[in-house]
Amino acid sequence: MKQLNVGILGLGTVGGGTYSVLTRNAAEITRRTGVEIKVVQVADRNIEHAKAIAGNVDVTDDAFAVVNNPAVGVVVELIGGYTLSRELVLKAIANKKHVVTANKALIALHGNEIFAAAKANNVIVAFEAAVAGGIPIIKALREGLGANRIEWVAGIINGTTNFILTEMREKGLNFSDVLGEAQRLGYAEADPTFDVEGIDAAHKLTIMSAIAFGMPMKFEQAYTEGITKLQQVDIKYAEELGYRVKLLGITKRTDKGVELRVHPTLIPEKRLVANVNGAMNAVVVKGDAVGPTLYYGAGAGAEPTASAVVADLMDVARLIDATSAQRVPYLAFQPDQVQDLPILPIDEVQSAYYLRLRASDKPGVLANVTKILGDREISIDAMMQKEPDENETEADIVILTHITVEKNMNAAITAIESLAEITGKVVRIRMEELAK
C-alpha cells in the first residue's frame, strides 16, 4: 500500500485536532483513499506540548527542518500569519512538496504568488480549511457548482461577530458588554480587531470571490466595515421590522464589476441564513442553474477545521500522481482563463438601506426628509416613528428604502443631517434580500 508522509507546522488548536483526526480515523481514511496518510514530523515552538500530543512522531522547533525534510511529501501549514508562513510555504513548494493550509490571510494576501509557484513546480496547494472551518465551501464552489455561472455569494463567515450579534439581539446587551463575554468564553481574542472590524471575514470573502468568478485575489480592494459601531437599539428596531442584523461578506458579479464587501447587513428573518446564531457560519451561493444554496456548520474549532484539513490531505493522496491538467485548478478556472476583473467601488454598489434618524417631534420633519430622498430618486419601502420618551422632544424615525446607488444615499444622508430638526448623525445599515 502507498504511504503519504506528512509534516505538520504548528500543533496548536487546529494542528492538534488534525493529528487527532488523522490517527483516530486512520483506517477509514485509508479505506477511502487507498493510501496510508502518516504524520512523520511535527514542528512547534513548544516542544513539550507537541510531544504530549504526538509523542511517537519526530518533533522539532525548527519549521524549516520539516519543509526541507526529503522524507516529507506534504507540508501542512497551521502556524498562521502571513510572513513566516509565506516563506515556509514557498520553500516547501520549491522543494516539490505539496501544501495544505488553513491560513486564510496567507491565501488572500499571497495566493496569487503561491499558486504561480505551485503551478511551476507541479505541486498541489489545498486550502479548504481557510474558509468557514469544517464547511466544504471551497469544494462546493470549485467542483459541486462547476456547471453554474455563479451570480453572488453571501456569508456569515466569522463566528466571533456572529456570537456577539446573537447575544446583543437575544439579551439586549451592548457591543462592549458582549465582547467581554466573548473573550471570556474564548470566542474572541485578547485583541479582537481582525474579527470585529471585518478583516478576517474579508480574507475569507476574497478567496471565495476569486473562485466564484475566476479572478486573482484582490483583498486590498475589499470594502471592510466591522460591527464596533453597531448599537443595540438598531438591532432591536430591525427585529421589530422583521429583520436580523448579521456581519455579511458579500460578493456579486455585475455588469460594471465585482462587488467585494464586508459590513453589517439587515436580512429578512424568514431567510434561513438570518437564523444562523451563536458562533456558527453559513454561506449562501446563487448559481444560475441551481438557484440559491445554503452551506451551514462550524466555522472554527479544533476538529471542525481539522475535518477540512484532513479532507485536503485525502485529495492530495488521490491526486498525487495526476498531472496538473487532471487536477481541479486552484481558482476553479483554467490558469489562462483567470480574468483580472475590476472591483466595484463601494460608492457604485447598489443596495437597500436602513436609516435611523433622531428628529424633533414636530410637523414637517418627515416631509423634509422624504423630499430629500425623493429628489435623489430613493424610494421608501417602510417607515416607523417611535414616540418620544416622557419629557423628551425628540424621537427616532426609522426608514427602510428600496435599492439605490450608494453615492445617492450618501448625498441624501448629508442633506438630512444638515436639517435643523435632525440631531446627530444618521445611522445607515445596508440591507440584502438574498432571495434571487
Greatest alpha-carbon pair distance for the chain in Å reads: 83
- Between CA 284 and CA 82 the distance in angstroms is 28
φ, ψ (nearest 5 deg) of residue 131: -130, 125
Please classify residue 339 by burial: count the beta carbons closer than 10 Å to its beta carbon, then call 0-12 exposed, 13-18 middle and 19+ buried. Answer: exposed
5: closest CA among 76, 78, 59?
Answer: 76
Q: How far, CA to CA in Å, does 413 sit from each of 365, 418, 421?
A: 14, 9, 14
- Between CA 412 and CA 191 the distance in angstroms is 36
Residue 286: beta bridge partners?
A: 152, 292
282: closest CA among 433, 435, 135, 394?
Answer: 135
Active-site positions?
A: 204
Identify the three-state secondary structure at position 289.
Answer: coil
164: closest CA among 141, 128, 192?
Answer: 192
Cell numbers for 143: 467542483
Cell numbers for 147: 456547471
Q: How far, CA to CA in Å, does 297 sit from each of 133, 135, 276, 300?
A: 8, 6, 9, 9
Rg of the chain over Cα atoms, rounded to whole angstroms, equals 24
Cell numbers for 165: 450579534
193: closest CA among 112, 302, 105?
Answer: 105
- Between CA 407 and CA 347 the distance in angstroms is 5
Please classify residue 48 by burial: count the beta carbons closer than 10 Å to its beta carbon, then call 0-12 exposed, 13-18 middle and 19+ buried. Answer: exposed
- Between CA 421 and CA 41 the distance in angstroms is 69
Count H helices and E strands in the chain, helices first: 15, 17
